[in-house]
Structure 1
């Protein structure tokens, strides 16, 4: 499942294509397709131009890692219990009610251990 590209990622793709892609010409666009470069219109991760993916994208390792790895969007937070995606726009700390309940139980267990004078053995 692909995710939407961020504005920074789109700008980085455009600059890589303009500077390093052998198939790109400022006047004609993409030479094999004889139209505008396919990568300029990309809005989602997923399918990329094969030449771009194999020859141009490795020139920017950070962008390559961001585009080719599976997982949540870069601006999403990770759930501290299971590692799932948590939307950044709310005060939500966990990805689901089950994770929130599990974390609450863990916090209560640690609180009661401290209250009784025991130490945590983790």
Structure 2
């Protein structure tokens, strides 16, 4: 079942110029029509990434979802990167405060 608004009984309405034109996506799994690339994919980022950037995908270390890295050092998808960075910054700040004497080191609990 096709959900393209230009799909009509195996033909593409958008490419119809008086003669019926077969929808390229109905005859091939590797071809994407121009309308689909321009109108549908920009609205669905995970689908766009999965279809267009297969070789360049990495898996997030935290959640395991595939993502398109911005550099060769990227290990996390955007939502996880924010959380991990916040945790790392908090730990770094806490360590710095302990070393400066602003916070006391945790004392062992005496019973």
Query: Which TM-score band applies after superposition, normalised by the shorter structure?
Result: 0.3 to 0.5
TM-score by length of 1: 0.34
TM-score by length of 2: 0.36
Query: Whose radius of gyration is greater, 1 or 2?
Result: 2
Name the structure, 1 or 2, with higher relative contact order (CA <8 Å, separation 6+).
Answer: 1
